[in-house]
Structure 1
């Protein structure tokens, strides 16, 4: 707990708010101490959804899965500001998830816990064995665990551009087996009052830029002009908005690339050339020079200092 920056009284206090980066950190430490590289996934299997409170009871009393997912998107922040859900029901049923304040591609145990929990919750709400069409995560694993495919019924796309679950569009119309219109109306009224008294989370320009960078980076298109266009502003307006937060686009892009590079180098077995491509570099030498400028060491030297992830992985 102390390594994660937690105090015992925070755990004992059910009303205490714990930053999501701390939540992610303590799961990583637990996985290391237990020598269980699938700790988040295993924890999900026994998790009691009712412990989430309103963020579960409201979706579970909804009429259809589509309604339940929209409710989850709206009310999750009542209990956890750091978990950001985005639901897309236009021709597909997609659930995208991010953890605010957690470096891109890191926090694998936390991310796997929540993504697999969402699949399990959708199955529980509809009393079906729903299988995703696609299951994407930003972090990397050297080898996909057998348990993941057995649970999902599809492969996991590691080192992807998003943390996302995609079901066939038709599943959104499935009825929720525990639907209760009267209870739902009562809970929604209570939750809306709670949201009204809660200050909305401030979306920073940094977080918006990082979100826009992610899908463009591997294709070498993460440039200021393209990002400004994605955000619906001019390049000059983007520069002013970043300056107001003490940032420049080039510095933010370097920081984002550095964080991703460290995650790829220390938590997986991608080759240096593969990592260079994922970061938008066409030449390994260019990536190596940039990484040395950021960290004072080369990618190979950093990887050499770290034990291989596969040595502690649980084999199945």
Structure 2
């Protein structure tokens, strides 16, 4: 039996910070390419790269990536060279949350849930199965002209993060890429500790699942909780909904607040209210990078947190008001959203108020 965990996002078109662009501009500068050429057509300035709070859209970073490939694409292992530069500290609070996680497995689960706080263009899907942990790297939606570079960059960055988390090289069981075998394999074996297989159906790497349960050397429960809260807040700000997603979300939020909340309308009812077919609504939401289920989860989570902190309702009552048939299903969903149970969340909120 296997367990699959998908990322919290399905596409690379999400807002991001400038740290990745700054890293690539620095790499290019070391190889004789001035920042002006790297930033050409992106709308960015060198001053903007120094602002840790600056936000850009993914297409802006993509413009810089195309400049990098144009200027230095003659280097046969460019993606690997750049990818190994990404370290835990490159990722800010996202990286600190990973490094303070209890185990490598929990760090991976967190990273998938909050993947939009990274700089990736490749979307990983994790599968836990007997004897191995498989991370399949999806690149289907990446533009063809930069696809190989981004596969090499992102897979190497992911692997580098795993090594940083445990404090030493993580032994891979195998690694596979879907492009043809490079002429030189030195850097691949140097970085990954093995010779990957090429011309395979998918891009993926495989770990021994036992390594996922080992405590991380810098695990800290207090720091992890603090980082989780900051990451949730950051994601909420970035997920300001517009367009069709905003219209659907508006129909899922109860008019009378938590007191007026009943079972949420299904997607068919929402589609009828928007004067479109269910299939059309699904297509529009997919194009917006979200889904009915994801929006419903966002609404349910916000309402659950409000009811647990502002009302005396039992966990079972909260579950019923959110439209769950059983409290156990709600508890499982809440733990997936927040990393803790509803009861523990309520105790933590009460403790914070008392303090």
- Residue 70 of structure 1 corresponds to which residue in structure 2? 109
Task: Say whether the 8 Å CA contact 1:106–1:139 is kept in structure 2.
Answer: no
CA spacing shift, 1:129–1:14, aligned 2, 3 Å: closer
Deviation at 1:10, TM superposition (A): 4.9
> Which one scores higher on RCO, CA 8 angstroms, separation ≥ 6?
1
**Which SS does the other structure have where 1:26 is aligned?**
helix
- Residue 49 of structure 1 corresponds to which residue in structure 2? 88
- Residue 7 of structure 1 corresponds to which residue in structure 2? 44
- Residue 234 of structure 1 corresponds to which residue in structure 2? none
Task: Say whether the 8 Å CA contact 1:21–1:102 is kept in structure 2.
Answer: no
Deviation at 1:136, TM superposition (A): 2.4
Task: Say whether the 8 Å CA contact 1:77–1:84 is kept in structure 2.
Answer: no
CA RMSD of aligned residues (A): 3.6
- Residue 200 of structure 2 corresponds to which residue in structure 1? 160
Alpha-carbon displacement from aligned partner over 1:116-135 (angstroms, at most 9, x marks no partner): 12212212211232221222
Alpha-carbon displacement from aligned partner over 1:283-305 (angstroms, at most 9, x marks no partner): xxxxxxxxxxxxxxxxxxxxxxx
CA spacing shift, 1:157–1:32, aligned 2, 3 Å: farther
Matches within 5 A, 1:245-284: none
- Residue 29 of structure 1 corresponds to which residue in structure 2? 67
62-71 vs 44-53, greater mean Cα deviation: 44-53
2:138 is the counterpart of 1:87 = no
Q: What is the aligned length?
A: 213
Question: Structure 2: which 5+ runs fail to align?
Answer: 1-37, 243-276, 288-355
68-77 vs 143-152, greater mean Cα deviation: 143-152
Hey, what's the Cα distance between the residues in 2 that align with 1:201 and 1:115?
A: 30
TM-score normalised according to structure 2 size: 0.50
Hey, what's the Cα distance between the residues in 2 that align with 1:82 and 1:103?
A: 10
TM-score normalised according to structure 1 size: 0.56
2:190 is the counterpart of 1:133 = no
CA spacing shift, 1:141–1:14, aligned 2, 3 Å: farther
- Residue 176 of structure 1 corresponds to which residue in structure 2? 216
Deviation at 1:150, TM superposition (A): 2.6
Deviation at 1:4, TM superposition (A): 5.3
- Residue 39 of structure 1 corresponds to which residue in structure 2? 78
Matches within 5 A, 1:221-260: none
Task: Say whether the 8 Å CA contact 2:126–2:135 is kept in structure 1.
Answer: yes
Hey, what's the Cα distance between the residues in 1 that align with 2:202 and 2:56?
A: 24
Task: Say whether the 8 Å CA contact 2:134–2:206 is kept in structure 1.
Answer: yes
- Residue 226 of structure 2 corresponds to which residue in structure 1? 186
Task: Say whether the 8 Å CA contact 2:86–2:160 is kept in structure 1.
Answer: no
9-18 vs 175-184, greater mean Cα deviation: 9-18
Deviation at 1:93, TM superposition (A): 1.9
CA spacing shift, 1:27–1:158, aligned 2, 3 Å: farther
- Residue 253 of structure 1 corresponds to which residue in structure 2? none
Question: Structure 1: which 5+ runs fail to align?
Answer: 203-236, 248-316
Hey, what's the Cα distance between the residues in 1 that align with 2:202 and 2:171?
A: 19
Alpha-carbon displacement from aligned partner over 1:254-286 (angstroms, at most 9, x marks no partner): xxxxxxxxxxxxxxxxxxxxxxxxxxxxxxxxx
CA spacing shift, 1:169–1:104, aligned 2, 3 Å: farther
